[in-house]
Structure 1
C-alpha cells in the first residue's frame, strides 16, 4: 500500500505546470521539491539556526497525553495552549493547559484553563487577541450528543493570568456557534478574521469569518460546497488552515479524510464570504492537521507532514513566493532526532502531530506534540527561510 501511494504521489508531482494550472488549481507543489526516496528528510535541507524547545514533558503517573499545541504572542510574551490527560486521548479527565514565555525558550509551569467534565471533555481551540485582550477558545465535546461533535466557548484575560468565566462564541444573529473551532484564526489586511469550524450535527467543515476585532461574536458561515463524503456525519474536508495568495485571494487548505494523502484546497476572492468547491492539490499530506500562513514579506508557508502515508514525520515547511507555486522547503524535525515514545495510551504513536504556527520576534515558530506526549516547538530565523542555492 505504501509503495502504491508513493507511486501516486510521484505521478502527481511530475504533472506539467501548464496542465495543473489549466485546471485552475489553487496552488501546486513543484515537481522536484520532495524526494520520496529519502524517507527521513524527503530530500529537504535543514535551515540554519533551527532550534527545538520543549514546552512541557510528562513524567510517570500523570499528564502523559498532550496534544493540540497552539501558540500566540500577547503583550511581549508567547503563549502556548494544549490539551492534556493522564494517559488516553480525549479522556474524561482532559483539561486545557497553558504556559507562557518571554523568550520562547523558558516556559512557565502549566496552568489549567478548564476542569475535567462530567459529560464529555474540552480540547484546545486556539487563541486570538485584539492587542489588549487575550482570547482562549475552548472546544467542548458533550458525551450525550447523538452524533459526535461539539461547540466552542471562550475565556478572556487582560494580563494572561486572570481569566473570565467561559462564554459561548456567537454567530452574527446572536445564536451560539454550534461547531468545533479550528485553531488557526488569522486576519486579512482589512481586519476581517477568517477561520473554519466543524459544524453540528457531526463535524462538517466550513469557512467562517467575522468583523469583530475580538473574534468572539459576529461569526458568519461562508458559502462553500463540500465534496461528497463516505460519512454523513464527517465532511471529507477537515482541520483547515489558510493563507493569503499574492493576488489577494484567501486559500484554505484541508486534511482529506477521504485518504487521498493530498491536501484539499478552496479559494475565496471576496474576503471569505464565498469559496470555491474544494479540489485535491498535488501537495502530499499524511492525512493530518497542518498550519499555513504568510511571512512578513508576503511569502506563503505550509507546515506539516508532506508525504503520502499516515506517518507523521518528518515535519517540514514548504514555501512559495506567490502562493501559487511551492517550489522550495526545509525539514524541521526528522526521525533521527525524535525521542522515543515513553508511555502507552489510546491513539498514541510516534510522530510530530498537529502543528500550528506563528511568526514572532523574527522567527517562524511551529508548535506540535511529539508522540502525543511532549508539547514542543521548533523555531527558525526568518533570515534562514530563503530559497536554497542551486548546486
Structure 2
C-alpha cells in the first residue's frame, strides 16, 4: 500500500473505530469465496484501491449467507463504488436485495433506465429516491444508501442528494444480497455493464459527518469497451446521430393527430391490448384483444370497430374471435388484406398441445370478413406455435412472413406456403441466453431473400436477427445499438422506400418512430409520437399501467395510421403525415 493509502486507511480507522464493524467486500478477485458468480463473466480491473471487478452485463455476484444482512432494527448503511460503461443498458442494478419471482422485495440501488442513480424501497409498492448527479461512463462514483426507521437517503460522491420518508419498515425476506444485477429465481437480469469496487454494509445508519468523510475523489478512469455487452458484436440498426438520454430532446413528428378508437365502459370488457389496423375498401378497421379484467385471462376475445370517416367516429364494437367457456381463448393478432379479402389471424391458446412455458397449445386462427353477410367467419387453425404480430410481408420467393413469439415466449417467424394463407410454417430464431426472453415479440420486414427481424429483448436495446434464405434459417440474435425497452415494436417500409420502426424509447412513457434514408437498411432519424405518462387505468386488472405501447402501423394515401394500447385499457390512434417523415 502506498503512503497516501496507508494514511487514508489510518484516518478512517480512527474516525470510525467506535462504529460497529462493516461487512466489507474488496472485490479484487473473481475467485473471492464470499460470493458466487451467476450468469456471465467477471474480470479483474483497476479499482479505487487496488483491483476491482468488471462485469460483462450478463453476470451478477450473489453474496453467500447474506439473507439477514441489513435486518437490524436500527436500519443500515451501504457504500459502494461503481464505474458504468454505458447508460443505454436499461436498469443496471448496483446492489440489491430482491427476488421478485418469489415476492422477496426489499430494496435496490441502481442506474435506472433514464440514466439516473435511483434507490428503490419496498413500502407496500416501490418508493424511489433519485439523485441529481448523473453517472459518467468510464468514471468512478461512490454511491451511498442510509436507511433509518424514519427516512432513507441516497448519497453520491460524499453528498446527500435525495431523501425519502419511511412509512413502513422494509420487508425482511430470504433474498440474498446481490451486486451488479438480480438473481430472480434463476433469471439473471437488471445487469450492470461496468465495474464495482469497495462495497461496505453496516447494520446501523451512519450520520452526515461520517458519510461525507468516507468519500475521496478518484481520478482514475476505465477505457470504455467498443461494444455493448451480451454476447457478440452489436448490430448497427441505428446509423444516425447520438441519441439523447432525455427523450424530451427528440422532436415530435409534425402534423400528427391523436384520437381514441375505444374506451371501455363500466359494463364492458375492461382489458384491451395489441391493436391492429388496416383500411379495406375505404373503411378503417381496427381490432384488439379484449378480456373482462386481466391480460391473457380466460374469456379473452378478439373485438374491433370500424370507421367510415378516417377515424373521426367509430361504429359499435363487433366480436371477431369469440370467447370460450373453458380455458381456451382468443387474443390479438394481425389484420390485413389478401386476395381482395379482409383477413385477421389471431392467437388462440389455453388448451391442447404443446404445453408451452407461456401459452399452452399456441396456434393462430384465421377469420375472414364475409362482406355479403357482414360477418367474420373462421377459416380454422392456419398457424401453430406462433403468435403473429405484424402484417405479413411478401418475400422474393412469393411466400409471406410475419414475426411473433412462440409457446415459450421465444422469438419465432411464420411463413406461408406461397399464396396459401391457410398453411403456415413456423421457424424459431436462435438466441443466446443473454437475450433473456420473457415475451420475445418479433417484427419483420423482407427485401427479396433477406429478412430483418427486430426482437423484444434485454439490456434496454432492440435485438436483431437476419435471414438470407427467405426466413428458413436465421443468424443468432444479437443486441443492436438502438435503445428499446422490453416492449413490442412494429417494423415496415414506407412507400417512400424508407425503413421504419415504431417502438418505445427507454420505457413505455415515450412512443417513437424511427426512419432511414430511402433504400437504406438502417434507421437514422427519430421523432416522438406520444410522450409522458398516459392517464391511469380506470379499472383494476393484471399488468395494467400508464403506457403507450404495442404499436401496429398501416400506410394509406400519404398517411401512416399507428394504433396502440393506452394503459392496456384504451385503444389509441395517431395519424402521421408521410411528409413529416421525410429524412432531413
Q: TM-score, length-normalised on structure 1? A: 0.82
Q: Distance in 1 between matches of 2:566 and 2:317?
A: 17
**Contact 1:184–1:291 (8 Å) recurs in 2:** no
CA RMSD of aligned residues (A): 3.0
Shift of 1:252: 0.5
Equivalent residue, structure 2, for 1:156: 368
2:440 is matched with which residue? Answer: 238
**Corresponding residue number in structure 2 for 1:100:** 306
Matched, 1:130 2:329: no
Query: Which of the two has higher C-alpha Rg?
Result: 2
In the TM superposition, 1:118-267 aligns within 5 A as 118-143=326-351, 146-147=355-356, 148-149=358-359, 150-159=362-371, 161-170=374-383, 177-188=384-395, 191-200=398-407, 202-217=408-423, 219-222=424-427, 224-228=429-433, 235=437, 238-244=440-446, 249-256=450-457, 259-267=458-466
Kept in 1, the 8 Å contact 2:236–2:522? The answer is no
1:68 maps onto 2:68 in alignment: no
Check if 1:299 corresponds to 2:498.
yes
Aligned residues: 361
What residue in structure 2 maps to residue 385 of structure 1?
581
Which residue number corresponds to residue 173 of structure 1? none
Q: Gaps (5+ residues) in structure 2? A: 1-90, 92-109, 117-134, 138-192, 194-223
Contact 1:119 1:144 in 2 (8 A): no
Q: Alignment partner of 2:422: what SS?
A: coil
Q: Which residue of structure 1 lines up, in the alignment, with residue 486 of structure 2?
A: 287
Residue 230 to residue 360, structure 1, CA distance change in 2 (3 Å): closer
Q: Which has the higher strand share?
A: 2
Asked if the contact 1:128–1:214 (Cα under 8 Å) also holds between the matched residues in 2, the reply is: no
SS state of the match for residue 383, structure 1? helix
Q: CA offsets per residue over residues 334-385 of structure 1, 9 Å max, x none?
A: 117x334322211100001211111112111111010111111101100111
SS in 2 for 1:28: coil
The 1:199/1:373 distance shift into structure 2, 3 A limit, reads: closer
Q: What is residue 35 of structure 1 aligned with on the other side?
A: 244
Equivalent residue for 2:317?
A: 110
Write out per-residue CA displacement over residues 151-188 of structure 1, whole angstroms, 9 at most, x where no aligned residue: 11112124293222350105xxxxxx243333442223
**Change over 3 Å in CA distance of 1:369–1:362 after alignment to 2:** same
Cα separation, 2, equivalents of 1:335 and 1:293: 25
Which segments of structure 1 move beyond 6 Å, counting only runs of 4 or more? 8-12, 14-17
Deviations 1:52-92 (A, max 9, x none): 12111112232221111011222222211101122222222
1:230 deviates by: 8.5
> Is the CA contact 2:253–2:527 (under 8 Å) kept in the aligned structure 1?
yes
In 2, Cα distance between the equivalents of 1:239 and 1:281? 15
Contact 1:126 1:136 in 2 (8 A): yes
For 1:192 and 1:83, the matched residues in 2 are separated by 27
Structure 1 alignment gaps of length 5 or more: 171-176
SS at match of 2:523: strand
Cα distance in 2 for partners of 1:313, 1:323 equals 28
Report the 3-state secondary structure (helix = DSSP H, G, I; strand = E; otherwise coil) of the residue aligned with 2:322.
coil
